Structure 1
Amino acid sequence: MSSQEDVAAEPGPATEDDATTGDVITVTIGATVPTGFEHTAAEEVKEKIGVDVRISKDRGRIYFPITTDKLFQVHLLRSVDNLFVVVEEFDNYQFKESKEETLMELQQLASKLPWTNALEVWKLNGTLKKKKGFRRGGNSTKVKPNSEATDATVADSEQQEPSQEASDAESQMQAESTPDAEASTQDSEETAPEAKLIKFRVTCNRAGDKHSFSSNEVARDFGGAVQEFFQWKADMTKFDIEVLVNIHNVEMVIGIALTEESLHRRNISHFGPTTLRSTLCYGMLRLCKPQLSDIIFDPMCGTGAIPLEGAIEFNSSFYVAGDNNDMAVNRTVSNICHIQKRRADKGSASGLPIDTVQWDLCNLPIRTGSVDIVITDMPFGKRMGSRKKNWDLYPSCLREMARVCTPGSGKAVLLTQDKKCFAKAVSRMGGLWRKLHIVWVNVGGLHAGVYLLKRTAALFGQTPEDVYESRGTANAKGDDKDDKELS
């Protein structure tokens, strides 16, 4: 990380001609992840890329180094929502008390930042997008400054991936070009069509209550300075480059986006009212550690986001998805067909290991003790169901889940925002479930919990004392060992 004095001025705007595409350089990649699953994302990066990860104090972000020859690997991560390459990091930026002084300092900072490597990665990312067919990624537009500056004002930015603590609303820059400047730009493009004008926008995400400025003001003034330095044109919708300014208290990170839209939309083509992010589904699945030939069961599948993510990433298990709503079942089937068609178009003949059924979740057509893992998004009582109905629904479905789950080894990963109702329902299960771990997450601005439960050896009709006596002290110790491994 840098202090304000560490930033050396660059000799001038970076262009395609200045790039050394053959050289391998090391850069820092930043990623936004589902809030609460930062450690899960860090584990995946370590496992798949082999580098150590730093988790930001600002929840929902991680940072890790990578060499440009391995850049494609970041697009294969399943736990990240958005990716960006870091231009510069400041771990203790001394913002001025005066708003005017702070904004003036940020304007001056724009021309002093080390942009070259980040822009090189942005261009390489665009090339990878074309070659590998990534659905999202940086644009490969040539990085050449315009021959004349466009007279434009840059207003606020749209927050790319809001954190729960962010205090400023999303905003966008607005470019206002004068007629003379537009004419000048048009003449320039006619005389030199190969020098395509770069369009950009600045996005500011600010969290903290001790700042004298708003994200709108930072994006406007910093964006204006970036435009003046590079001679780019501001465009809020058809931009080639998105410059990010992330501020969390005294931390500030400036970067360039490598994804055009969040990677969490990768699997779903038919959305429902409460469709989960695929990245959150991945975190839930990784929490329960699916094993070879596990039967994994989602009794309230909605649009099928959880079993779809599992069937793609943990495809050695088999998934059974169901819902009592016929529209939800139809959406799940449509999403499965969409993924299988996409695979077929790429030459893959293998299908997805998923079955889809419509059922009553309190009276499931599943054999007792036949399921290894139950994983589902339970009704919050907000957009689906009601808090009042949850007091009847939660005990019924938890008991039915316990019936179908294998005693002694089965697990459940359950997401809910109705924490009070859920805790009470689990406590009244007669020892059928034991709580192992909770991950607190942000789901659409709601504070929710992902609960990891273990199915105990208790059978229906038995008391906890009966169970202890029947399995003996040795077995009890063995289960305790299993609990430690799971946690």
Structure 2
Amino acid sequence: MNLKMVHSRLFCVLKTAFKKLEAVSMTLYFTSVLPGLEYILSNEMNNKVSDSEIIQINRGKVFFTTAESFTCLSSLRSADNLFQVIDQFQIGPHKKHLSQVSERIAQLDLDFIDHKYLFWVNASRKGKQTYNRFEVAKKAMEGINKHYPDWNMGTSQNHQIEFRLDIEHHHVIFSLRLTDATFRFRNQTRQFSRASLLPTVAHAMVWLSDPKLTDIFVDPCCGSGTILSERATYPTNRIIGGDISGVVTKIAKSNLEDSKVQVNVWDARELPFSNGCVDKIVTNLPFGRQISPDEDLELFNHHIMNEICRVLKPNGRAVILSESVNQLFWEAKRLGLFCLESYSLSLKGVNPTLFVFEK
């Protein structure tokens, strides 16, 4: 199936969803998510948003309907941003067709939006159009001002209300952005060490560990403590992390000062735990530019996988992010760890794999 057929199918699916929503008090949304985490986010959504229905899953996006409040939706910690879909329509590929954007948007009822603030439209496009995304955004803003002449337009750097207009070939989705960067960074002022994980990725890893109240949870390579911080949002028995660098563990402690997480200086290849005492291990192993060239990454992975297997309880779970795909599969097989799932991610210019192992 080629891309145009995929986008055409999405258009039809969303059109059907809009018709269904007319009869019930449901709203159509989509979340943006790091490519590779779409199905993890969908699972989180099915567990946290009781009436949600997944409409479509695309690369980097999950479309769904729900009648739940924004407070409920903000519990989706694997999502980057949340958008409410306002309209969808079709458009031609040439500049002469841009008037279709302003005319269509000028007809929309946007009275539900508080217009006391400055608004802006960001646009994206995929396909062979003769116009660029800035021209599309300008036409969308003209359409809004045609219907609402008293609304004040901001700038790309100064606005409080943000609309999004995505064009994929002939298909247009017009939406309202409900979140900003503080959503995916947890409204926190955090310190980050080199190669720190995004909180959304860290949460997806925690979610894959199937967090339980009775867990003894360990991150052997905790860095600035992002995984530990995400695990601390769920009830648990103990949360323990460590790193070989005293400077890094100091950063982690400052990021976790309001929680009961233990942070230690240790060598992950010699963990201070007895055999079979840890329920869950979740960690981001060094890869790519994260490790200096004079270190033997393959040997490091070999030793740390030995330790992970040693300290895990029978049926314990290890969620590991690594670029050493073939080696981790081999090490797991050697140690008798069963790979439940794996996900290839697109992360900071590299493509590590997220593994879920069970002892």
Do residues 450 (structure 1) and 357 (structure 2) align? no
The Cα offsets for residues 383-408 of structure 1, whole Å up to 9 and x where unpaired, read as 433497312211111112112112x3
Residue type of the partner of 2:181?
A: E
Task: Give the alignment partner of residue 374 of structure 1, picking from 267, 278, 281.
Answer: 281
Give the match for residue 67 of structure 1.
67
Give the match for residue 476 of structure 1.
none
Deviation at residue 63 of structure 1 after TM alignment: 2.6
Task: Give the alignment partner of residue 215 of structure 1, picking from 133, 139, 154.
Answer: 133
Residue type of the partner of 1:451?
A: F
Alignment of 1:397-436 (within 5 A): 397-406=304-313, 408-427=314-333, 430-436=334-340
Do residues 277 (structure 1) and 198 (structure 2) align? yes
The Cα offsets for residues 158-184 of structure 1, whole Å up to 9 and x where unpaired, read as xxxxxxxxxxxxxxxxxxxxxxxxxxx
Deviation at residue 378 of structure 1 after TM alignment: 0.8
Give the match for residue 4 of structure 2.
none
TM-score norm. by structure 2 comes to: 0.84
Q: Structure 1 stretch 267-276 or stretch 328-337: which is displaced more?
A: 267-276
- 5+ long unaligned stretches in structure 2: 1-9, 16-23
In structure 2, distance between residues paired with 1:52 and 1:82 = 17
Deviation at residue 451 of structure 1 after TM alignment: 0.3
Contact kept, 8 Å, 1:380 with 1:387, in 2: the verdict is no
Give the match for residue 342 of structure 2.
438
Give the match for residue 160 of structure 1.
none
Contact kept, 8 Å, 1:204 with 1:246, in 2: the verdict is yes
Alignment of 1:38-187 (within 5 A): 38-54=38-54, 56-67=56-67, 70-90=69-89, 93=90, 95-97=91-93, 99-116=94-111, 120=112, 122-123=113-114, 143=115
Contact kept, 8 Å, 2:123 with 2:164, in 1: the verdict is yes
Contact kept, 8 Å, 1:51 with 1:64, in 2: the verdict is no
Residue type of the partner of 1:215?
A: R
Query: In angstroms, what is the RMSD of aligned CA positions?
Result: 2.6
Return closer, same or farther for 1:46/1:437 CA change in 2, 3 Å cut-off.
closer
Return closer, same or farther for 1:330/1:202 CA change in 2, 3 Å cut-off.
same
Deviation at residue 50 of structure 1 after TM alignment: 1.4
TM-score norm. by structure 1 comes to: 0.63
Give the match for residue 205 of structure 1.
124
Give the match for residue 254 of structure 1.
174
Deviation at residue 294 of structure 1 after TM alignment: 1.5
The Cα offsets for residues 415-451 of structure 1, whole Å up to 9 and x where unpaired, read as 1123244344445xx3332222102222224222110
Task: Give the alignment partner of residue 392 of structure 1, picking from 294, 299, 322.
Answer: 299
Deviation at residue 83 of structure 1 after TM alignment: 1.5
SS state of the match for residue 443, structure 1?
coil
Deviation at residue 240 of structure 1 after TM alignment: 2.3
Residue type of the partner of 1:385?
A: S
SS state of the match for residue 201, structure 2?
helix
Return closer, same or farther for 1:367/1:57 CA change in 2, 3 Å cut-off.
closer
Do residues 303 (structure 1) and 224 (structure 2) align? yes
Residue type of the partner of 1:111?
A: A
Task: Give the alignment partner of residue 315 of structure 1, picking from 235, 243, 259.
Answer: 235
SS state of the match for residue 79, structure 1?
coil
The Cα offsets for residues 136-194 of structure 1, whole Å up to 9 and x where unpaired, read as xxxxxxx2xxxxxxxxxxxxxxxxxxxxxxxxxxxxxxxxxxxxxxxxxxxxxxxxxxx
In structure 2, distance between residues paired with 1:55 and 1:445 = 29
Do residues 35 (structure 1) and 28 (structure 2) align? no
SS state of the match for residue 409, structure 1?
strand
Residue type of the partner of 1:437?
A: E
In structure 2, distance between residues paired with 1:334 and 1:55 = 41
Contact kept, 8 Å, 2:216 with 2:236, in 1: the verdict is no
Query: Which protein is bigger by CA-based radius of gyration?
Result: 1
Contact kept, 8 Å, 2:11 with 2:171, in 1: the verdict is no
Residue type of the partner of 1:375?
A: V
In structure 2, distance between residues paired with 1:305 and 1:216 = 36
